[in-house]
């Protein structure tokens, strides 16, 4: 099942002047509130977590009164900012967003009521019984106080639904309730982060095609992983003697310029999960890393195309326009590929020749040279760039251009030279030693031979 949703702001907002205290800049609300839903929900959670961690140093504030703000989501799934409930009661602003009961008070009332439901009690029992049969876990504790490190923090102690220890790591199991309580989520995350514990949220069911805000506040901050227990998982736990769960997780895919999520359900065991107490993530599939790799590949593809566009258009010329285009490209590369240093002049040393012969092998025609055919480039490589002939040959094979070169070799000149190249490599002739000076650039432009370049060739 694939999902994709873009967040949307409410039609009218009372607070429209929001200041980012880290950058000192105003938040552009339209841009901030119309990103991928997951990104907005993560920032919603981060905003609440930072306040719970350090109320005196909020991230986003009302630019009019400097009071901290929260990001609220309406029943229509739209977003707007309002003053934090605690700040609203203490600080007066020319714009008031206060109701008869604060969102925090309403959430506490709903949260405490939901904890008494029969469904909630049964899920606690399933978690407890699953942990009891797991031979790797300590005896589970139900509704017992988890004390903070400092006695002075007694007011902040927590009472998780169930707690246990797995291989030295304390785990707090909390049942996800069908109500909105972001302040409670943020408070618990920060408590367990400070006390070396990890929180495992348990759902009673999950439908990725129809998710509620109370669910999204949890799974978007937990690497897009959702855990479920029920009578079936309990039965699996008893058979395996390991706590069993059903795990829904998202896998990011690129469709054009858009990342969409594919949701997959898999049966897992507790000891298979990755626990990161510092980031308060407990997950089976590392969505965040997969998404970062996908975005990185997109960025690399765009940077690579910009380089190729320059080389196709300018590398065979020598003009002020080409020099200016190269300076522009280098600036772009500093942002897109900071680990790819480029010379101030693309004609320096062997840089131009090395890049040109490699791109010519890739595309099957001269690139960077005013030459008629690929055969002419091959001969140039033999005469002047013997240290790149190995990579030249790898690229010809990777892009199926060996036969094209052979078809142009009517006088068998290249065929004779190929024999000389093989003999030179066999006797470890210093002239054919692989020149690695520009391997980083070649690997970037032709990732198909990256592994071969990394292996190198020494004698």
Q: What is the pLDDT of residues 90-121, one digit of tens each?
A: 667 878 766 544 555 555 555 555 555 778 88
Q: What is the pTM of this model?
A: 0.67
Reply yes or no on whether the pLDDT at 240 is more than 90: yes
* DSSP letter (8 states) at residue 236: H
Looking at the chain, how many residues does it have? Answer: 459
Q: What is the pLDDT of residues 298-341, one digit of tens each?
A: 778 888 899 999 999 999 988 889 999 999 898 878 777 777 88
* DSSP letter (8 states) at residue 138: P
Q: Report the C-alpha gap between 196 and 95 in whole angstroms.
A: 40
Confidence bin at 201 (pLDDT 50/70/90):
very high
Q: How far apart are the first and last CA of the chain?
A: 53
Domain ranges of the chain: 2-99, 108-285, 295-455
Q: Report the C-alpha gap between 454 and 439 in whole angstroms.
A: 8
Q: What is the pLDDT of residues 330-364, one digit of tens each?
A: 887 877 777 788 999 999 889 999 999 999 999 99
DSSP SS3 for 17: coil
Helical (H) or strand (E) element with 163: strand 162-166
Please check whether residue 38 is in contact with residue 6, taking contact to mean a CB–CB distance below 8 angstroms: no
Q: CATH assignment of 108-285?
A: 3.40.1350
pLDDT the model gives residue 339: 79
Long-range contacts of 360-365 (CB under 8 A, 24+ apart): 361/392, 361/395, 361/396, 361/399, 361/401, 362/395, 362/398, 362/399, 362/401, 362/445, 362/446, 363/399, 364/399, 364/401, 364/404
Q: Report the C-alpha gap between 158 and 161 in whole angstroms.
A: 10
Higher pLDDT, 67 or 266: 266
Q: Report the C-alpha gap between 336 and 334 in whole angstroms.
A: 6
Higher pLDDT, 229 or 153: 229
In sequence order, what are the residues at sequence separation of 6 or more whose Cβ sits closer than 8 angstroms to the Cβ of residue 450? 443
What is the chain's mean pLDDT, rounded? 88
In sequence order, what are the residues at sequence separation of 6 or more whose Cβ sits closer than 8 angstroms to the Cβ of residue 106? none
Please check whether residue 159 is in contact with residue 193, taking contact to mean a CB–CB distance below 8 angstroms: no
Higher pLDDT, 286 or 335: 286
Structure-token pair, residue 229: 């227990």
CB count, 10 Å around CB of 401?
18
Rounded to 5°, the CA angle 423-429-430 comes to: 155
């Amino acid at each position: 099942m694939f999902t994709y949703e873009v967040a949307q702001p409410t039609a009218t907002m009372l607070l429209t002047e929001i200041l980012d205290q880290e950058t000192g800049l105003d938040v552009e609300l339209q841009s901030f509130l119309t990103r991928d839903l997951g990104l907005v929900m993560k920032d919603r959670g981060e905003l609440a977590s930072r306040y719970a961690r350090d109320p005196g140093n909020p991230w986003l504030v009302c630019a009019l009164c400097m009071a901290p703000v929260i990001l609220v989501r309406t029943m229509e799934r739209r977003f707007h900012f309002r003053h934090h409930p605690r700040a609203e009661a203490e600080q007066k602003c020319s714009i008031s967003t206060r109701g008869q009961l604060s969102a925090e008070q309403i959430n506490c009332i709903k949260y405490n009521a939901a904890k008494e439901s029969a469904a909630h009690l049964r899920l606690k029992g399933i978690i407890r019984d699953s942990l009891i049969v797991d031979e790797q876990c300590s005896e589970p504790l139900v509704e017992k106080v988890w004390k903070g490190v400092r006695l002075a923090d007694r007011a902040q102690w927590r009472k998780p639904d169930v707690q246990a220890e797995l291989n030295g790591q304390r785990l707090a199991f909390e049942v996800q309730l069908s109500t909105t309580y972001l302040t409670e989520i943020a408070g618990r995350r920060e408590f367990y982060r400070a006390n070396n514990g990890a929180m495992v949220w348990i759902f009673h069911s999950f439908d990725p095609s129809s998710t509620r805000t109370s669910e999204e506040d949890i799974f978007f901050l937990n690497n897009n992983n959702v855990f479920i227990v029920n009578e079936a998982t309990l039965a699996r736990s008893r058979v395996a003697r390991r706590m069993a769960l059903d795990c829904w997780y998202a896998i990011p895919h690129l469709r054009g310029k858009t990342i969409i999520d594919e949701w997959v359900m898999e049966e897992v065991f507790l000891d298979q999960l990755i626990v990161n107490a510092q980031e308060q993530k407990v997950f089976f599939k590392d969505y965040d890393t997969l998404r970062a790799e996908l975005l990185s590949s997109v960025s690399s593809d765009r940077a690579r195309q910009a380089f190729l566009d320059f080389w196709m258009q300018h590398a065979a010329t020598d003009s002020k326009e080409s020099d200016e285009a190269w300076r522009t490209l280098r600036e772009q590369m500093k942002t897109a590929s900071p680990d790819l240093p480029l010379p101030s002049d693309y004609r320096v040393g062997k840089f131009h020749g090395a890049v040109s012969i490699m791109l010519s092998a890739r595309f099957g025609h001269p690139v960077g040279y005013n030459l008629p055919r690929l055969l002419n480039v091959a001969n140039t490589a033999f005469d002047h760039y013997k240290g790149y002939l190995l990579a030249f040959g790898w690229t010809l094979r990777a892009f199926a251009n060996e036969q094209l070169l052979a078809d142009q070799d009517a006088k068998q000149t290249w065929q004779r030279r190929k024999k000389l190249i093989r003999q030179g490599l066999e006797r470890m002739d210093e002239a054919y030693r692989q020149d690695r000076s520009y391997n980083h650039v070649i690997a970037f432009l032709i990732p198909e031979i990256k592994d071969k370049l990394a292996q190198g060739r020494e004698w």
